[in-house]
Amino acid sequence: MNAQRIEGTVALVTGANRGIGQALIKALLARGAKKVYATARDPQSLGDLNDERLVVLPLDVTDADQIRAAAEAAPDVAIVFSNAGVALGRGIAEASVLGQARREMEVNYFGPLQLIQSFAPALARNGGGAVVTVGSAAGLTNIPFLPTYSASKAALHSLTQAARVLLGSQGTSVFGVYPGPVDTDMSRELEVPKASARDVASAILDGVEAGQEDILPDPFAVEFGRQFESSPKASERQMAAMVAALAAA
């Protein structure tokens, strides 16, 4: 795994209008990125981005045409941060779950897949570069109160592993990020300790610059990752116990 220098690089971030994506934009600029493509479904939601190094692009990661257009508009990109994600389904038996699960898979799995397909040629032309997929600890062990979201992140984890091997031949490094609870709109309802998006973004860039292929960017993720590596079954039980404790609170 090749370390990637942030200073002087050209990066693209999906889902840059809030949460980790917005924090990544700020962190990339603070570390001296040469250019940052900030993308969102609604470019106006990015607000007033006052930096001449920023280029705003419309990008819905479920729209193949927009992904291709973004790849054409960013031919100089060296690092792609696949960050856009959604969490919708809160159960498994409700009638609405299937539609929510399909939407989660479209955004959290098929979106990154199409992103990799479209940007891989540019990365190869630019010396290899890197893809950074922002997954979740829930992709390693399912969180029962977010069952379909967890499944979509598990699919992303599997895709990340395959891309690491298949894009390695063109010199492209593929980093997987597995945060725990982060203080964003997505986790607003969770009554658990949360890391700040700023700290998580900084840890992600630290991992990329260190060539760390699996990035655990917060204390929960570090501890959970240690448990998962030791015993996936114990991690499953730990997650079930945490959910039971939250339900009883």
Residues known to be catalytic: 149, 153
**Count of residues for the chain?**
249
Going 156 to 119 to 57 to 27, the CA torsion angle's sign is positive
Task: Compute the distance between CA of residue 156 and CA of residue 61 in angstroms, rounded to an integer.
Answer: 14
User: In DSSP terms, which residues pair with 84 in a beta bridge?
Assistant: none
Distances in Å between the Cα of 83 and the Cα atoms of 106, 169, 201 are 13, 24, 11
For residue 59, give the nearest of 71, 77, 50, 48 by alpha carbon: 71
Which one-letter DSSP state was computed for residue 92?
A: S
